[in-house]
Structure 1
Amino acid sequence: MQADKVSDTPVEFVVEYLLKAKEIVENNANIPAELRDNLQKALDIASGLDGYLEQMSSQESEPLAELYRKSVSHDWNKVHEEGKTLFRLPVTCITGQVEGQVLKMLVHMSKAKRVLEIGMFTGYGALSMAEALPENGQLIACELEPYLKDFAQPIFDKSPHGKKITVKIGPAMDTLKVGYPTISTCQQSLELLNMSCSASNFYYLIILFKKKSSTILQELAATGEQFDMVFIDADKQNYINYYKFLLDHNLLRIDGVICVDNTLFKGRVYLKDSADDIGKALRDFNQFVTNDPRVEQVIVPLRDGLTIIRRVPYTPQANTQSTAIYDEVFRGVQGKQVLDRLRLDGKVAYVTGAGQGIGRAFAHALGEAGAKVAIIDMDKGKAENVAHELTLKGISSMAVAADISKPEDVQKMIDDIVSKWGTIHIACNNAGINKNSASEDTSLEEWDQTFNVNLRGTFMCCQAAGRVMLKQGYGKIINTASMASLIVPHPQKQLSYNTSKAGVVKLTQTLGTEWIDRGVRVNCISPGIVDTPLIHSESLEPLVQRWLSDIPAGRLAQVTDLQAAVVYLASDASDYMTGHNLVIEGGQSLW
Structure 2
Amino acid sequence: MNGKLEGKVVIVTGAAKGIGYALARGCCSEGAAVVLCDVDMESLQKAVSDLKKDDFVCEGKRLDVTVEKDIRAVFSDVFQTYGHIDGLINNAGIASKVGFLESTLSDFEKVIRVNLMSVYLCSREAASYMTEQRKGSIVNIASVAAHNGGGLMGTSLYAASKGAVISFSKGIARELAPFGVRVNSIAPASIDTPMTTVGRNPAEYAATIKKIPLGRRGKPEEVVGPAVLLLSDESSFMVGVTLDVNGGVYMY
Query: TM-score, normalised to structure 2's length?
Result: 0.95
Give CA-to-partner distance per residue, 1:514-542, whole Å, 9 cap, x none: 11121100001110121123433333333
**Are 1:552 and 2:208 an aligned pair?**
no
**C-alpha displacement of 1:395:** 1.2
Q: What CA distance in whole angstroms lies between the structure 1 residues aligned with 2:155 and 2:16? A: 24
Give CA-to-partner distance per residue, 1:416-471, whole Å, 9 cap, x none: 21122112100011000011111111111111011001101111000000110001
The one of 47, 56, 60 equivalent to 1:399 is 60
Q: What CA distance in whole angstroms lies between the structure 1 residues aligned with 2:228 and 2:195? A: 25
Q: What CA distance in whole angstroms lies between the structure 1 residues aligned with 2:104 and 2:137? A: 35
Q: Which residue of 2 aligns with 1:302?
A: none
Q: Is the Cα contact below 8 Å between 1:350 and 1:375 reproduced in 2?
A: yes
Q: Is the Cα contact below 8 Å between 1:345 and 1:369 reproduced in 2?
A: yes
Q: What CA distance in whole angstroms lies between the structure 2 residues aligned with 1:536 and 1:492? A: 10
Q: Is the Cα contact below 8 Å between 2:145 and 2:151 reproduced in 1?
A: no
Q: What CA distance in whole angstroms lies between the structure 2 residues aligned with 1:377 and 1:506? A: 25
Structure 1 residue runs of 5 or longer lacking an equivalent are 1-109, 111-339
Q: Which residue of 2 aligns with 1:516?
A: 177
Q: What CA distance in whole angstroms lies between the structure 2 residues aligned with 1:490 and 1:546? A: 11
CA 1:415/1:588 → structure 2, altered by over 3 Å: closer, same or farther?
A: same
Q: Is the Cα contact below 8 Å between 1:535 and 1:541 reproduced in 2?
A: no
Aligned pairs (5 A) from 1:115-514: 343-490=4-151, 494-514=155-175
**C-alpha displacement of 1:369:** 0.2
By relative contact order (CA 8 Å, sep 6+), the higher-ranking structure is: 2
Percent of aligned positions with the same letter in both sequences? Answer: 29
Give the counterpart letter for 1:529 in structure 2.
S
Aligned residues: 252
Give CA-to-partner distance per residue, 1:476-524, whole Å, 9 cap, x none: 1001000111112337751111000000000110111111121100001
Q: Which residue of 2 aligns with 1:564?
A: 225
Query: TM-score, normalised to structure 1's length?
Result: 0.42
Instruction: Output the aligned Cα RMSD.
Output: 1.6
Q: Is the Cα contact below 8 Å between 1:439 and 1:493 reproduced in 2?
A: no
Give CA-to-partner distance per residue, 1:157-210, whole Å, 9 cap, x none: xxxxxxxxxxxxxxxxxxxxxxxxxxxxxxxxxxxxxxxxxxxxxxxxxxxxxx
**C-alpha displacement of 1:378:** 0.2
Q: What CA distance in whole angstroms lies between the structure 1 residues aligned with 2:75 and 2:152? A: 39
Higher mean Cα deviation, 501-510 or 525-534?
A: 525-534
Q: What CA distance in whole angstroms lies between the structure 1 residues aligned with 2:85 and 2:110? A: 28
**C-alpha displacement of 1:351:** 0.3
CA 1:532/1:509 → structure 2, altered by over 3 Å: closer, same or farther?
A: same
**C-alpha displacement of 1:549:** 1.7
Q: Is the Cα contact below 8 Å between 1:478 and 1:522 reproduced in 2?
A: yes
CA 1:497/1:489 → structure 2, altered by over 3 Å: closer, same or farther?
A: closer
Structure 2 residue runs of 5 or longer lacking an equivalent are none
CA 1:448/1:571 → structure 2, altered by over 3 Å: closer, same or farther?
A: same
Q: Is the Cα contact below 8 Å between 1:434 and 1:497 reproduced in 2?
A: yes
Q: Is the Cα contact below 8 Å between 2:140 and 2:169 reproduced in 1?
A: yes
Q: Which structure has the bigger radius of gyration?
A: 1
Q: Is the Cα contact below 8 Å between 2:95 and 2:195 reproduced in 1?
A: no
Give the counterpart letter for 1:425 in structure 2.
D
Q: Is the Cα contact below 8 Å between 2:15 and 2:24 reproduced in 1?
A: yes
**Does the residue aligned with 1:582 lie in a helix, a strand or coil?**
strand
Give the counterpart letter for 1:459 in structure 2.
Y
